[in-house]
A and B are shown apart, each in its own frame.
Chain A
Amino acid sequence: MQQIDVEQIMNEIRKEIKEKGIEEQIPPFRDPYETELPFAIPSEFSMDELHNETVNAMALYDTAIQPIHQVSGIKGMIKKLLNKAAYFSMNTHMVSQNTFNIAVVNALLQVNALAEDNRKMQEEIDELKKELDQFKTHNHK
């Protein structure tokens, strides 16, 4: 079987492309506003991270449109009008979003409680391990 020197072929091809003056001319597929994932699988559990995210979720759970009370001038009137129109069309969605958010916050609080229980249990296990070691050493003597 004849060996294929891919690198040599590619070098020839690159030279050929340069000579022909072929350049990229089509738009990219990915949109410029595409972003990286806002989360990643953690390599290990972090109690602080859990607390922080729970607090964030608690602070931001309410996505409802807040009504504008104080109005002055034509700009204020327009703002109030737009606010009312948005409230009318978006309110049902906001209510279901908030219900979902509350469920997520409650679930996070449960996980926090579980993590706290685990921490206490770990402390107890460490204490019992220490006692067991002491007991073993004492018996050995």
Chain B
Amino acid sequence: MLAELSRGDAVSNDALAIHRLLKREGYDAILCVERANYVPQNEKIISTLDLSFIASDDIVLYHLSTGTTLNYRFGRLKCRKIVRYHNITPPQFFQNLMTLKVASSMDGYYGAKYLADKVDLCICDSDFNRQDLIRMNYRCPIYVAPILMAFEDYRTRPDHNILQMLENHVDIIFTGRIAPNKRQEDVVRAFYYYQKYYNPDARLHLVGNPSGMEPYYEKLQGYIKRLGGCNVHFTGHIPFAEMLAYYKGADLFLCMSDHEGFCVPLVEAMYFSLPIVAKDAAAVGETLGDSGILLKDSNPIEAAAIMNRIIRDEQLRNSVIESEKTRLLDFETQKVEKQILTIIREGI
């Protein structure tokens, strides 16, 4: 059960992957959604409008990530309950920009707190998220299992035009919706210095959907203009094949996020052997493990210099990519599937 099913969204993908895993394992699994923005192939979706069909011996696995009345309705269900906690972006990130987002985020926290004594088991996608639940007084067993990535989707053909466009330049990317907690402004700042001192022809591609975050998006565009344009491109919401092409054709992945419950794009970058430079904040360091290059703060000049070092020094770049390949093994589909199944079977 989840609040919103959207194409390309990390929570939706995880929910779908777990749902398919459970079906494959012989569970009579149903996908229950409050708002479905698309219907995945070969899947039947049931609306959360009427939950009276849920019996006391059923197990509901609820993906908690946002403020919705479903948080409370799930809490009142008389059945066995599992929360898959993906984290809620703290409201202070939206202050002065999006009052509705502030309210939704606060509602999410209230909902999460409300559920503290009403669930039998929690599965968080990072230890950072587990700590969040402990702070909210969750007393049930809390396990950690990473996001279940459907890597077979990444084996599809990337968009040829984008791949071609990314040739003959140094291209830096960051993928993720345009949002204040992702600190795209810090990515822009680091790129500004990289371009100025090391590579004037370099390009930055901010791959992500700005929908719902327009005030921040406009402010970001204004900031880039103030810096002189500096070759920064917003892709907006793009088809999956185009996103794959950005990962495949880019030279470096730069993440300056301040708040991530897991950060799926890091694993995607690892999958495409893209060297990663990321700021150590929230769950970012945990997801990277010993791989990539982890920055202590968002100093843009240092970020620019390390980007330059990785791009120019082949030996260092190969070492970074090798470290990411090793880390990627921890997110292998079968490995995570086994973890999740063991938790569900033994925990409830």
Contact = CB atoms under 8 A, between A and B. Distances in A.
Tell me, yes or no, whether A binds B.
yes
Interface of A: 1-2, 4, 6, 9-10, 13-14, 16-17, 20, 22-24, 26-27, 29, 31, 34-37, 41
Interface string B306-327: 1001000001100110110010
11 contacts: A1-B326, A2-B322, A4-B320, A9-B293, A10-B306, A14-B302, A23-B301, A36-B95, A41-B106, A41-B109, A41-B113
A27 B91 CA distance: 25
Interface string B184-204: 011011001100010000000
B289 interface: no
Interface string B81-122: 000000000011001100000100010011001000000000
A27 to B, nearest CB: 7
B302 A1 contact: no
Contacts of B323: 1, 4
Given A4-B316, A9-B306, A17-B301, 8 more contacts: A2-B315, A9-B293, A13-B306, A22-B301, A26-B192, A34-B95, A34-B96, A36-B92
B277 to A, nearest CB: 10
Interface string B283-305: 00000000001111000111001
Interface in B197-233: 197, 219-220, 223, 226-227
Interface string B219-259: 11001001100000000000000000000000000000000
A13 B293 contact: no
Contact of A16 (B91, B293, B305, B322): B305
Contacts of A16: 305
Contact of A27 (B226, B301, B306, B319): B226
A1 B306 contact: no
A4 B309 CA distance: 13
B319 A1 contact: yes
**Most A Cβ at <10 Å: residue of B110, B220, B223:** B223
A57 to B, nearest CB: 17
A10 B304 CA distance: 11
A4 B293 contact: yes
Contacts of A17: 301-302, 305
Task: Label chain B's interface by main secondary structure.
Answer: helix
Given A13-B305, A37-B91, A29 B185 contact: yes
Given A1-B322, A4-B320, A41-B110, A26 B302 contact: no
Interface string B322-334: 1100100000000
Interface of B: 91-92, 95-96, 102, 106, 109-110, 113, 185-186, 188-189, 192-193, 197, 219-220, 223, 226-227, 293-296, 300-302, 305-306, 309, 315-316, 319-320, 322-323, 326
Contacts of B197: 20, 22
Contacts of B293: 4, 6, 9
Contacts of A6: 293-294
A95 B89 CA distance: 35
A138 B226 CA distance: 81
B301 A29 contact: no
B96 A26 contact: no
A6 B302 CA distance: 12
Nearest to A16: B305
Contact of A26 (B106, B227, B296): B227
A34 B216 CA distance: 13
A35 B96 contact: yes
Contacts of B309: 9, 13
A35 B305 contact: no
A37 B294 contact: no
Given A4-B319, A4-B323, A27-B226, A37 B302 contact: no
Given A6-B293, A41-B106, A29 B189 contact: yes
Contacts of B294: 6
Contacts of B315: 2
A2 B188 CA distance: 31
A31 B189 CA distance: 15
A44 B186 CA distance: 36
Nearest to A2: B319
Contacts of A31: 96
A10 B302 contact: yes
A24 B300 contact: yes
Nearest to B310: A9
